[in-house]
Amino acid sequence: MPPLPSPAPRTGARLLVDALRTNGVSRAFGVPGESYLDVLDALSDSEVDFVVCRQESGAAMMAEACGKLSGRPGICFVTRGPGATNASAGIHIAQQDSTPMILFVGQISRAMRGREAFQEVDYRAVFGPLAKWAVEIDEAARIPEIVARAFRVAMQGRPGPVVIALPEDVLSEIAQVPDAPAVEPAETWPGLTDMMRLQRLLWAAKRPVMILGGARWNARAVAAVERFAERFDLPVAVSFRRQMLFPADHECFAGDVGFSVNPKLIARLKQADLVILAGGRLGEVPSQGYSLFGIPDPGVPLVHVHADPEELGRVYQPSLAINASASAFAAALEGVQPPNELPWGDWRAQARADYLDWTQEPPANAGAVQMATLVRYLRALPKETIICNGAGNFAIWVHRFHRFRGFGTQLAPTSGSMGYGLPAAVAAKIAHPATPVVAVCGDGDFLMTGQEFATAVQHGAPIVAVVIDNGMYGTIRMHQEREYPTRVFGTTLRNPDFAAYARAFGGFGVTVETDEAFVPALDAAFASGLPSIVHVKLDPEAITPATSLSALRAKALAAHPPG
Ligand SMILES: Cc1ncc(C[n+]2csc(CCOP(=O)(O)OP(=O)(O)O)c2C)c(N)n1
Ligand SMILES: [Mg+2]
C-alpha cells in the first residue's frame, strides 16, 4: 500500500477551525480577545459566521440557546480571565439544562503558566465542577483529538457544556496532523426486555401518568410520544420549562410541573399508580422541593428513562430503570401495545379538564395594563413562534397561560438565570430568520444582558422583546413581603425609558401604559421589521396571577403581627 500523503502543516488555530467545520459548525458567538487572535484570523476566511456580542454572558447564553434548539453543541469564544468568568452563567445554564455547548477560552502562553500572569485562570479548577468537562490543550498536534472528544462529551449521554482553554502559543504552533472524523453521539436504545417490562407495568396500572423532561429530544421524538399517549389515552405532564415537549392543545396534555404549579396536577401525580419519567431528572423545582415522590423509594412504581446511567437511581430508585436517550425511547414506544380495554376511564379526560381550568385566560390584575392581553396575543401568534424568557415573576404568566405547541418553541433556563431571554431570542432569530421570536423579559431581567440588543441590531435579528416593567425585582419583593412584610429593601428599581433605549440602538421602541395600546404596540413592533422593545408599564400590585402585593402583605402581617 502506498504511504498516506502527510497532512499539510497548519497552525493550532487553523486545526481548531477545521475541526469545527468537520463537525458542521456554521456559527459561533463570542467577544474577541487578544488571547485568541489566531482563531479570529482563521475564522475570518472560514465559512463560520461569527456573531460578535457585547458581553460574554450574553454570548454564552446565545451559544447555549443554539445548542438547545439544534441538539448540536453551541459554540462560544471568549478571552481569558474576565471573559471566561463573564461566560460562566451560560455554562451553568447548559449544565442544569443538559445542553450541548463548547466554550473556547483564550489562555496565556504555556511558558507563563503558574505565575498568575495577566488574566491567568486555572480553567480546569474553575470550570471543572461547573461544566461537564474542562480541559486545556497543551500542544497543537492534539487539537483534532481533544476537539472531537469535546463534541462527543457535549452531546453523548446527558449532554452538557465543555470548556476548552487554548494557550496563545498553542494556537500559533504549527503541527502536521490529520483531522479527526466528524462526531455523531452514540445512541442509547432501551434494552431487549425494557419495553416488554414497561408494557407489563402499563397493563397492571389503573392511574398511569407520563412526565417528559430533560434533553435528547427532537420533533420526531415528540411526535412519537404524542402517538403513544393517544394509543394509551395517557395524561402527559412536562417538567419545569419543558412545555415544548408536548403540545398544549393536545387532549392528553395535563400541564407542567414547575413553579406555581396546578395543585390538581400535583394531587393527580400523587394519586398515580405508575409514573413514567422520560428524559428528565425530576429535580428540586419539578419535584416541588423533592416532596412529590419519596426518596429513595418513590412510593409508586416509577419508570425512569435517561440517557445517562449515572442519573438512574441517583435520587429516586425506580421500579424500572431504562438507560436510553429520550428520542430512542420515544421511537421504541411504537412497539408497546395497549391492553384491549384501558381501565383508566376518565382519568385522562379529568387531567385535561383540570389543565384547561387552570390555564383559562388570566384573571384581571391591578392597573391599566392586563397580563391577559399579552397572553391572548402570544396564543394567537403562529404556532412555531419561539418564546424566550429569563427569570422573574413575569414568567409565571408565560409558563402557565401560553399554549406552547411544538418542539423548539421555548427557550427558558431551568437554572432560573435572569438575563437569558434576550440573548436566547437573538440566537434563535439568527438561526431561524423566518420564525417569529419573542422575548418576554422583566425590567430587572432585561438589563442583566440588555446590551445584546445591540447585537440584535448589528446582526439584523428583528426580535420582539416585551419588557414587563413593574419598577422592582418583583419576585424578591414578593418573598420579602411574605417573610418581612412592609420592610422593603434592595428590591426597588429606577428604570430607563426602555422604548427610547431601543431607538438609541437603532431598533423600534414603544411604551404601553394602557391596555388598549398593548396589542397595537405589539403589532407595530412586528411590522417594524426591526429589533423591538415593547415597554409595558405593569402595576407593581400585579405580583402574580393569583394575588396582589397588598393582599400578600396583609396576609403576612396577619400571620406575623409586628412587635
Ligand atoms: C442572575 C440572577 N440573579 C439573581 C436572581 C434572583 N432573582 C430571581 S427573580 C429576581 C427578580 C426578577 O426581577 P424582574 O426581572 O424585574 O421580574 P419580576 O419578578 O419583577 O417580574 C431575582 C433578583 C436570579 N434568579 N438570577
Ligand atoms: Mg420587575
pLDDT score, position 1: 66
Q: Is there an atom of ligand 1 within 6 Å of 421 CB? A: no
d(CA 38, CA 471) in angstroms, rounded, equals 45
Secondary structure (3-state) at 366: coil
* Residues β-bridged to residue 483: none
Ligand nearest to the backbone CA of 442: 1
Q: How far is the CA of 443 from the centre of ligand 1 (A)?
A: 9
88 lines ligand 1 (CB under 6 A): no
> What's the confidence (pLDDT) of residue 561?
76
Is the CB–ligand 1 distance for residue 416 below 6 Å?
Answer: yes
The residue behind cell 390584575 is: 365
DSSP one-letter code for 245: G
Closest to 276 in 3D by CA, of 337, 197, 217, 346:
197
What residue ranges of the chain have pLDDT lower than 70?
A: 1, 3-4, 563
Query: What pLDDT was estimated at residue 6?
Result: 84
In the prediction, which pLDDT does 563 show? Answer: 64
Q: Check if the beta carbon of residue 28 is closer than 8 Å to that of residue 192.
A: no
The cell for 521 is 404596540
pLDDT of residue 160: 98
Among the atoms of ligand 1, which is closest to the Cα of residue 394?
Answer: 21
CA distances from 160 to 165, 216, 288, 432 (A): 17, 11, 24, 23
Domains within the chain, CATH numbers bracketed: 10-175 (3.40.50.970), 192-359 (3.40.50.1220), 371-559 (3.40.50.970)
pLDDT in the model for residue 370 = 97
Q: What is the pLDDT of residue 5?
A: 75
State which ligand 1 atom lies nearest to the alpha carbon of 448: 1
Kindly report the protein residue whose alpha carbon is nearest to atom 11 of ligand 1.
Answer: 473
Atom of ligand 1 lying closest to residue 478 CA: 19
- Work out whether strand 174-175 and strand 10-11 pair parallel, antiparallel, or are unpaired: antiparallel
Q: Which residue's CA is minimally distant from atom 16 of ligand 1?
A: 444
For residue 257, what is the enclosing H or E element? strand 253-257
Q: Which atom of ligand 1 is nearest to the CA of 443?
A: 16
d(CA 168, CA 137): 10
pTM for the predicted model, two decimal places: 0.97
As given in the structure block, the three cell numbers for residue 561 are 403581627
pLDDT, residue 522, reads 98
* Distances 489 to 122, 429, 477, 552, 562 between C-alpha atoms, Å: 37, 38, 8, 16, 17
* Closest residue CA from atom 4 of ligand 1: 418
Which pLDDT score, from 0 to 100, does residue 345 have? 80
503, 524 contact by CB (below 8 A): no
**Rounded to the nearest whole angstrom, what is the distance from the C-alpha of residue 259 to the centroid of ligand 2?**
17
CA angle 392, 394, 398 (to 5 degrees): 115
Contact call for residues 551 and 482 (beta carbons, < 8 A): no
